[in-house]
Structure 1
Amino acid sequence: MNNPGKLLIDADAPRDVPRNSQLRALINAVLDSVVAEGQVPPGEVFDEAQRIVRWHYQWMGVHEFLPHIVGEGRVKDLMRCHREDRCYRWRHEPFIPAEFAVAAYRFGHSQVRTGYAVNADFVAPKIFDASIPNTLPDPNDLRGGKRAPRRFVDWSLFFELGGRVLQISQRIDTTLSAPLFELPFNAPGLPSANPASLAQRNLLRGLVFGLPSGQDMARAMRIKPLKSDDLGDVSHLKLHRSTTPWFYMLREAEKCEQGKRLGPVGGRIVAEGVPRGPRRGQAVVPAGGPGLEALPGQEGWRVHHHRPAEVRRRGVA
């Protein structure tokens, strides 16, 4: 059960990794910007900052993130798809489908590199190094809960901001970087005997949640499943005809899309699970005011949408 008022973080996400800490700093900067403008009543400042951040996140999810991860064609098909034809159909309150959280959206684990350059002064040869004691205030890896000046991220090493060589993610496939098999932290609330291997944790989660096989998910979506030959390397485990969904979706991406994006089953689940913006009648303001425009793909109603350029002019980004 979720505890009211308590922030929930992925059980395997290390707390306060440098990336997450700086993203929270951006959220605080948006809040400060709204206060500085003085156009919002004091009691509504947080709600307004929340709207700005949320709608930027949702817009980028639909128009930048999803086309890269699942393909532009699948995104367009889904946006045109009638609600009753979708696999994920909530009625009273939105929820995160188990197939999304426990299987499909864990595709990113296969994209993690062994190590990263955080900035010009700090290169972590391993993203996590289990041989380093957790008591060190500034370990030479990227585990969370540590603060030091050298741990602040230079975002130009990760995004196309100009003039830097990017650290491109690995392709989506059934291989993981070595450090992910020896995680130096335990999932919160679980016994210390919890497996150190991230792959093992993912596979066990699928079993605990009782998820159907990747092949059964494909059939339910009227998608042709992978051939047994595509999964021949796990036939000795009797998994080539009934494959755990996390592994199935990684292999599907590898076989169907050369690892550049998710395949049809994983891509459909992720595309339906990522927020697509406010729904009709929710958080909508009258059209015609300053800074109002219809979000692409959401014609018929208008929302208050601060474009990234507008936020930069205010000294936020």
Structure 2
Amino acid sequence: MTDIAMHGHGVRGMKPETLHSFDGIGDPGKFGVMFPNLLPLSASDDALAELAAAMLDKLDAKSNPDPAGDNRNIPAGYTYLGQFVDHDITLDTTPLDQQKADPKATTNFRTPALDLDSVYGDGPGIHPYLYQRDPGQPRIIGKMLIGHTGESGDQNGRAIPSLPNDLPRNQVGHALIFDERNDENLLVGQMHLLMLKFHNKVFDKLAVEQPNLSDGERFSEARRIVTWHYQWIVLFDFVERLTEPGLIQRIKQEGRRFYRFKQRPYMPAEFAAACYRLGHSMVRQTYSHNQVFNPTEDSIANGTLGLLFFFTGKSGSIVGELAPPPPNGPPPALQTALPSNWVIDWRRFFDLGTPAGGNFALNLSRRLDPMITPALHTLPGLTPNAPPQQVREFNLAFRNLRRGVQIGLPSGQAVCRAMGLTPLKPSQVATGPDGKAAKKHGLHEETPLWYYVLKEAEHFHKGERLGPMASIIVAETFLGMVHGDHESFLWQQSDWKPELPGAQPGHFTMADLIRFVGDIDPVGKALEQVLEPQP
């Protein structure tokens, strides 16, 4: 492998034609902008509030999302993989109610990298509470700590025992994880748990295949394998679903044109406050969570977004009326763990090839378009009969639009012109009820960047993937974060291919990760054992 000197550093495994990717606006720090010379868009709060109110997704008579708005190319699990990734690249352990004090996230904010520090912290030596101890001995082994659920029941009165399927928690239910934002809704919490189990599975695999490694060596090698496969998934499974197949490889070969730095990656405002907020459009109002909680009649209740926030330690409560005690058992005075009947069925969130039928269905994400699910228009905490100016403060679409104006983002059209792309015509922005509201305030001519990203995806690809401007910004930013990480596979071994088994040799997806971990439908497996005839 050839070392190429640049800026006084060795850049291993990179081809000469990619080196210009590191030249550009210098190192702006942890937060910066891709297009520093563009003028900020100005818009009044009233105009933004009216636009936000028009960005309302449709529900059917049973409050389920209109199937016409589903994105058949992106299963719903990628919505929450995206949130997990966001918490990894913008690691901020400030309590949620204090983060508003720093709208640009310039403090308590680590250099963006896909390094899973939200899972590993600073390792067993600095954050031992994240790791398992050897039974009977004081030493910490290199496996992640796993929590257990509380016993509960299903809709037919059958007991579901405690399962090793919760985040580790203390005696009052607080999750023992490095970034507490990963306990703010149940789906991102279960995603975090999946990554903990992924590490442990790799650790155990190494114990068999390389028994001479010390615990420390095995931990380091397991972390490398997990992190590199995670980086691969983000680039070639997640980002390329959002953009287009082959885009990452093409940018890798040709070099980044807009997300450029000399030595250290930064978080671009155009990405963080606009393009990567695409996930808010992907959120569903309800989910078929498992065989106990789903939209069918054969369930305890529908898997609503509200309940997925309720059954957490960060945003809600892990104690609830929909967590019944085991049959014939006393009701618990206080439950400090997730009820076992709320453990996720991964087949419903990623396509593992399971055919639909009965109460099983694969959840699809919502289209990448301006329509935002009603639950995100009325965030928790809104008081009854609140005045309109207070109501809009609890509308996530309004918050996103106003945040863009507050931090000085340019319009979507200005960004397109700076990138050499032809912007959408005003008439193309002004379509639909949301476009009508935009046109009323002149926002169809110079459009808020976040709204433009969604409108661009709707116009070019019917909301199935991002349009040209947002695709380039998202792909270049993620590729640059991995490029700029000296521990990443692109830096260490740019021609590396996944070494763990996948459905396609040399490739690794979220579906492959779930199959490798093997804990696909814990609730279904537990109920099957209940139904087995006793000897």
User: Do they superpose with TM above 0.5?
Assistant: yes
1:169 aligned to 2:373? no
Bigger relative CO (Cα 8 Å, ≥ 6 apart): 2
- Kindly provide the amino acid, as one letter, of the partner of residue 444 in structure 2: H
**1:1-317 alignment runs, 5 A limit:** 1-2=107-108, 7=178, 14=184, 17=187, 18-30=189-201, 32-33=203-204, 36-37=207-208, 38-72=211-245, 74-83=247-256, 86-123=257-294, 124-128=302-306, 134-135=316-317, 137-138=319-320, 147-165=338-356, 166-184=362-380, 195-232=393-430, 233=436, 234-275=438-479, 279=483, 282-283=486-487, 301-303=494-496, 305-309=498-502, 316-317=517-518
Deviation at 1:36, TM superposition (A): 2.9
Instruction: Describe the SS at the equivalent of 2:288.
Output: strand
Deviation at 1:117, TM superposition (A): 1.2
- Kindly provide the amino acid, as one letter, of the partner of residue 171 in structure 1: R
- TM-score normalised by length of structure 1: 0.78
Structure 2 runs not aligned, ≥5 long? 1-106, 111-120, 123-177, 295-301, 324-335, 357-361, 383-389, 431-435, 503-507, 519-535
Q: How many residues align structurally?
A: 294
- Kindly provide the amino acid, as one letter, of the partner of residue 304 in structure 2: K
Query: Cα RMSD between the aligned structures?
Result: 3.8
- TM-score normalised by length of structure 2: 0.48
Instruction: Describe the SS at the equivalent of 2:380.
Output: coil
Could you tell me whether the CA contact under 8 Å between 2:260 and 2:480 is conserved in 1? no
Could you tell me whether the CA contact under 8 Å between 2:293 and 2:303 is conserved in 1? no
Could you tell me whether the CA contact under 8 Å between 1:172 and 1:259 is conserved in 2? yes
Q: Distance in 1 between matches of 2:185 and 2:309?
A: 19
Structure 1 runs not aligned, ≥5 long? 187-191, 285-294
User: Which structure has the bigger radius of gyration?
Assistant: 2
Q: Measured at CA, do residues 131 and 155 of structure 1 come closer, stay the same or move farther in structure 2, by a change above 3 Å?
A: closer
Could you tell me which residue of structure 2 aligns to residue 292 of structure 1?
A: none
How many percent of aligned residue pairs carry the same amino acid? Answer: 32
Q: Measured at CA, do residues 219 and 9 of structure 1 come closer, stay the same or move farther in structure 2, by a change above 3 Å?
A: farther
Greater Cα offset, 242-251 or 97-106: 97-106
Q: Distance in 2 between matches of 1:307 and 1:15?
A: 29
Could you tell me which residue of structure 1 aligns to residue 5 of structure 2?
A: none
Q: Distance in 1 between matches of 2:466 and 2:422?
A: 15
Instruction: Describe the SS at the equivalent of 1:94.
Output: coil
Q: Distance in 2 between matches of 1:301 and 1:125?
A: 42
